[in-house]
């Protein structure tokens, strides 16, 4: 060890050059490999701040179809950046193979190294290893698919007009969160297959317009058939259901819906693993750069600058601070990852009691296992330790609309640990965060109206934009749309209609 300790630092100044970036990448890559990080090949792209804003605006992707909402995002980012209200993120990293990471030219070499460690080895290995990304996304196909989507949509714009396409996309975006399959998963397709399939689908739909709307009278119309709902089981993927069943849509419109749905599906794992993903990447940039420091490859000045930005990234303002805007996923993730390492390396009695299976185990293996097999919700449920709850001084507030006051439900003490952990885990359950809305029924034999059901969680009603969203559903579906809020006891307590109906009419 002492032999390597005397090595010469890679750089001493703050300016970066391509050679230096290469050197750092090589060293960080070497160290990462020693820690067993398994990554896609990296494609590191140096860009300007303007290009970074471009990337921001198209949801971080290197290319995307055109839509005004991306323009809005861009204009907003630009304005905030120019006024110095926000800095740009140091990096954007794309879950693709090779894994694309952007470095901004304005940054110092320290920051570039930090980003390389964070994105190219942290996030990259997470993308490659985590089960959600493995099952839900296809890193090798995404760029091709986006290219296909961009071209397809611009063709549609030429053929059917920008306004027409824009309206359709607006409606799809409104339902984007409901365009994912949460449970089942189709086999991934390559872009070429995707194109072929698209042609085939178009043709098929042209020829056999859905059975659902078949006007040829059925042979038997029994009383029983009248009661059968369509779909038989509620469908969680609204966009999918609309794509396959909306009576009036043109083939190209179905394809556009499909594109939005696919992209939503691609981003779904990122939403579910925010804490883990950022925690993992932050933990590894911290660990990797410290390793370089231990080997004498970086200077003290480098470490000072790195630690400064590291600690501002993981700063968690307390709940009463004006800067508080929820729990910082970087803080929580980083601390949990470090905490797991601590439990493995220096377990206390408490840890042995709470985590008998990992206390004292090999930390690299344990972390790797955690990274691969969990999402935020289960990760927190499994690994949040009492010690960390004490350190972050977590507490739970119960806000019950039926009571006049807020109540402190649990704090970081013996009584509260389990409850805190459950609640925090539930907080990261997407199923709780977004209202659970599913397709309940289509009036197949009558006015073709679509009934959605909102299965209420903890008695929370829908927000005030519900009617607006329903207009979008109505645009896609083409016939009346009904949305019912249902309590766990199966009582309908609120119904929304689009187009609006007399509220007194009870549901059939």
Partner 1 sequence: MSYIIDRRLNAKKKSTVNRQRFLRRYKQHIKRAVEEAIHDRSISDIERGGEVTIPRRDISEPVFHHGKGGKNTRIYPGNKEFVTGDEFQRPEGGGGGGAGQGKASNQGEGEDNFTFSISQEEFLDFMFEDLELPYLVRKQLKDATSFETRRAGFSTSGSPEKLHIVRSLRAAHARRIALGREDRKEIRELRKQLWALEALPTGEVSQEEMQALRDKIAELDKKARRLPFIDDFDLRYNNLIRVPVPSSKAVMFCVMDVSGSMTQTIKDIAKRFFILLYLFLERNYKQIELVFVRHHTHAKEVDEQEFFYSRETGGTIVSSALQLTADIIDARYSPADWNIYVAQASDGDNWDGDSATCSDLLMKRILKKVQYFAYVEITTGPHQNLWYEYEHVHQAFPDEFSMQHITDASEIYPVFRKLFEKRTEGAA
> In angstroms, how far is the first alpha carbon of the chain from the final one?
78
Contact 153, 165 (CB under 8 A): yes
Binding residue for partner 1, selected from 9, 35, 47, 372, defined by CB under 8 A: 47
Based on the shown chain and the rule CB under 8 A, indicate whether residue 329 belongs to the binding site for partner 1: yes
Distance CA(196)–CA(367), nearest Å, equals 41
Residue 472 touches partner 1, criterion: CB under 8 A? yes
Are 128 and 39 in contact by the 8 Å Cβ rule? The answer is yes
Nearer to partner 1, 298 or 473 (CB): 473
Specify the residue, 128 or 412, whose C-beta has the smaller distance to partner 1. Answer: 412
Handedness of CA 131, 133, 137, 142 (dihedral sign): negative
For partner 1, the closer of residues 186 and 404 by Cβ is 404
Nearest to partner 1 of 343, 452 (CB atom)? 452
Contact 124, 93 (CB under 8 A): yes
Contact (CB, 8 A) for 114 and 289: yes
Q: How far apart are CA 443 and CA 250, in angstroms?
A: 21
- Least distance between partner 1 and beta carbon 225 (Å): 32
The residues, ordered by sequence, that sit 6+ positions from 184 with a Cβ below 8 Å of its Cβ are none
Min separation Cβ 320 and partner 1, Å? 7
Tokens for 345, please give them.
Answer: 């390396």
Applying CB under 8 A, the span of 194-202, 346-354, 363-371, 468-476 interacting with partner 1 comes to: 468-476
Q: How far is the CB of 65 from partner 1 (least distance, A)?
A: 9
**Least CB distance to partner 1 at residue 36 (A):** 16
In the shown chain, the binding pattern of residues 110 to 129 toward partner 1, with x for contact by CB under 8 A and - for none, equals ----------x---------
Query: Tokens at residue 58, please?
Result: 């198209």
**Token reading at 55:** 């990337």
Closer CB to partner 1, residue 141 or residue 469?
Answer: 469
Determine how β-strand 42-47 pairs with β-strand 99-104.
parallel
Pick 198 or 385: Cβ nearer partner 1: 385
Cα atoms in the Cβ-side hemisphere of radius 13 Å centred on 62: 19
Question: Token digits for 320?
Answer: 């009463």
User: Which residues neighbour 254 within 8 Å (Cβ) at sequence distance 6 or greater?
Assistant: 201, 205, 243, 244, 246
* In the complex, least distance from residue 345 CB atom to partner 1, rounded to whole angstroms: 25
Among 158, 193, 294, 468, binds partner 1 (CB under 8 A): 468
Per the rule left: phi > 0, alpha: psi between -120 and 50, beta: everything else, 490 is: left
Contact 86, 80 (CB under 8 A): yes
Stretch that binds partner 1, among 54-62, 179-187, 287-295, 338-346 (CB under 8 A): 54-62
Residue 270 engages partner 1 in binding (rule: CB under 8 A)? no
Q: Residues near 292 by Cβ (< 8 Å), separated by ≥ 6?
A: 10, 27, 28, 31, 298
Smaller CB distance to partner 1: residue 317 or 356?
Answer: 317
Residue 348 backbone zone (phi > 0: left; psi -120 to 50: alpha; other: beta): beta
Among residues 13, 14, 38, 50, the one that binds partner 1 under rule CB under 8 A: 50
**Of 308, 400, 492, 503, which lies in the binding site for partner 1, with binding defined by CB under 8 A?**
400
Which residues ranging from 411 to 440 are in contact with partner 1 (CB under 8 A)?
Answer: 411-413, 415-416, 420, 423-424, 426-427, 433-435, 437
Residue ranges in 357-396 that form contacts with partner 1 under rule CB under 8 A = 392-396
- For the chain, the farthest-separated pair of C-alpha atoms sits apart, in whole angstroms, at 88
Residue number with CB closer to partner 1 (6 or 403)? 403
Instruction: Find the shortest distance in angstroms from Cβ 135 to partner 1.
Output: 23
Minimum distance of partner 1 from residue 233's CB (angstroms): 20
Residues 183-242 that bind partner 1 (CB under 8 A): none
Least distance from C-beta 213 to partner 1, angstroms? 27
Residue 406 sits in the site that holds partner 1 (CB under 8 A): yes
For residues 63-82, which are near partner 1 according to CB under 8 A?
66-72, 74-76, 78-79, 82
List the interface residues with partner 1, window 155-184 (CB under 8 A).
162, 166, 170, 173-174, 176-178
Q: Nearer Cβ to partner 1, position 47 or 364?
A: 47
Residues 342-361 that bind partner 1 (CB under 8 A): none
Torsion angle defined by CA atoms of residues 294, 299, 305 and 307, in that order, rounded to the nearest 10 degrees: 10
Q: What is the DSSP letter of 436?
A: E
- Asked if 408 is part of the footprint of partner 1 (rule: CB under 8 A), the reply reads yes
């Amino acid at each position: 060890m002492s032999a390597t300790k005397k090595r010469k630092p890679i750089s001493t100044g703050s300016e970066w050059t391509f050679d230096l970036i290469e050197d750092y990448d090589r060293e960080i890559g070497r160290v990462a490999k020693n820690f067993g990080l398994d990554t896609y090949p990296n494609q590191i792209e140096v860009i300007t701040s303007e290009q970074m804003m471009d990337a921001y605006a198209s949801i971080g992707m290197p290319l995307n179809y055109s839509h005004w909402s991306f323009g809005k995002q861009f204009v907003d980012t630009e304005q905030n950046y120019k006024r110095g209200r926000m800095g740009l993120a140091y990096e954007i990293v794309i879950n693709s193979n090779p894994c694309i990471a952007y470095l901004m030219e304005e940054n110092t070499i320290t920051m570039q190294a930090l980003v390389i460690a964070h994105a190219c080895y942290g996030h990259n290995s997470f993308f490659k290893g985590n089960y959600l990304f493995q099952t839900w996304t296809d890193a090798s196909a995404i760029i091709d698919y986006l290219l296909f989507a961009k071209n397809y949509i611009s063709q549609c714009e030429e053929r059917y007009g920008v306004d027409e396409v824009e309206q359709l996309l607006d409606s799809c975006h409104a339902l984007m969160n409901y365009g994912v399959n949460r449970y089942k998963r189709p086999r991934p397709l390559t872009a070429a297959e995707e194109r072929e399939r698209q042609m085939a689908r178009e043709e098929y739909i042209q020829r056999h317009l859905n059975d659902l709307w078949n006007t040829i009278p059925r042979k038997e119309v029994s009383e029983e058939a009248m009661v059968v709902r369509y779909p038989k089981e509620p469908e969680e993927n609204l966009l999918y259901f609309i794509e396959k069943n909306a009576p009036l849509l043109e083939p190209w419109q179905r394809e556009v819906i499909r594109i939005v749905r696919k992209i939503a599906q691609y981003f779904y794992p990122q939403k579910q693993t925010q804490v883990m993903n950022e925690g993992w990447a932050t933990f590894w940039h911290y660990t990797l750069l410290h390793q370089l420091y231990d080997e004498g490859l970086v200077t003290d000045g480098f470490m000072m600058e790195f630690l400064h930005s590291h600690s501002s990234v993981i700063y968690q303002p307390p709940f009463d601070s004006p800067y508080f805007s929820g729990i910082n996923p970087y803080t929580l993730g980083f601390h949990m990852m470090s905490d797991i390492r601590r439990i493995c390396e220096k377990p206390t009695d408490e840890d042995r009691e709470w985590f008998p299976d990992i206390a004292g185990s090999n930390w690299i293996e344990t972390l790797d296992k955690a990274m691969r097999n969990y999402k935020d919700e289960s990760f927190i449920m499994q690994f949040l330790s009492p010690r960390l709850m004490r350190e972050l001084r977590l507490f739970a507030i119960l806000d019950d609309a039926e009571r006049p006051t807020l109540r402190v439900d649990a704090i970081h003490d013996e009584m509260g640990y389990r409850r805190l952990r459950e609640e925090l885990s539930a907080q990261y359950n997407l199923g709780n965060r977004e209202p659970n809305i599913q397709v309940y029924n289509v009036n197949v034999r009558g006015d073709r109206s679509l009934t959605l059901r909102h299965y209420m969680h903890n008695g929370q009603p829908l927000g005030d934009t519900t009617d607006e969203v329903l207009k979008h559903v109505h645009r896609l579906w083409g016939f009346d749309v009904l949305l019912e809020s249902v309590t766990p006891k199966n009582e309908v307590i609120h119904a929304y209609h689009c187009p609006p109906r007399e509220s007194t009419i009870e549901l059939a």
